[in-house]
Amino acid sequence: MSGNIRILVVDDEPQIQRFLKLGLTAGGFAVSAATTAAEAIKAIATSAPDLVLLDLGLPDLDGKDVIRQARAFSTVPIIIVSARDREVEKIEALDLGADDYVNKPFGIGELLARIRTALRHHDPVGHSAAVLSHGQITVDVAQHHASKNGAALKLTPKEFDLLALLMRNPGRVLTHRQILTSVWGPAHAEDLQYLRVLIGQLRGKLEDDQANPRFIQTEPGIGYRIASD
């Protein structure tokens, strides 16, 4: 997959820049660097990297401001790579449009896997596919039909909407707020119990073992994701 794929590393720590450049270059990626938020935003706008690895602790602005500004004009995949491990930091970054979050310290193998997933599922035209397939599950958005291994799934309208949303973002963490706002609307952005009940219902129809779900994975305190391929 790598080939001529260009990754922008945004981090002001020279040792992290060296570590990431070495690992990413060995993985076959082309690497460019930015050490400030201003440099990062300019690079995203003018150089159009294929993916951004972004630290939150930058000298001029918080990394979340980079996400906010970048999302005004770009859909480039953004993976947060940060030592900040508080749930609230992850949730804010993901709500602003980050695609994933990796805690420092991390292994280069895990990071490369996250990069491959983000690139594989990036849709620059806005997830416009009418038929979504992932593993055993297929969702026909236009026909409002879902199936598992070819057998029709009997889903309520809300279950279908939730499944379609997750299917459009395989491997990507969606926060509770993102899901609630999309499925129920902004007025229900805090109604977490609605979501927990719906996730339980949907898992009951998708998973072979609800106690050990393989398809819909929980990110504790943050949200949910469809397992990546």
**95, 177, 197 from 191: Cα distances, Å:** 16, 9, 11
Which of the pair, 103 or 126, is modelled with greater confidence? 103
| Lowest-confidence segment of 123-127, 160-164, 221-225 by average pLDDT | 123-127
C-alpha of 18 from chain center: 25
Q: How confident is the model over 146-158, as a mean pLDDT? A: 91
Can you give the pLDDT at residue 35? 95
Can you give the pLDDT at residue 3? 57
Cβ-based neighbour number of residue 57 at 10 Å: 13
Tokens 């998708």 locate to: 206
Together in a domain, 89 and 170: no
Together in a domain, 114 and 135: no
Nearest to 31 by CA among 55, 13, 10: 10
Query: Is residue 141 domain-resident?
Result: yes
Please say whether the beta carbons of 225 and 171 come within 8 A.
yes
Model-wide pTM > 0.75: no
- pLDDT category of residue 19 using cuts at 50, 70 and 90: very high
| Tens digit of each residue's pLDDT (9 = 90 or more) over 164-214 | 889 888 888 889 988 988 888 878 888 889 899 999 999 999 988 877 888
Can you give the pLDDT at residue 198? 93
- Based on the structure, what is the number of domains in the chain? 2
C-alpha of 99 from chain center: 3
Cα separation, 28 vs 79, in Å, equals 18
- Residues spanned by the domain of 42: 6-120
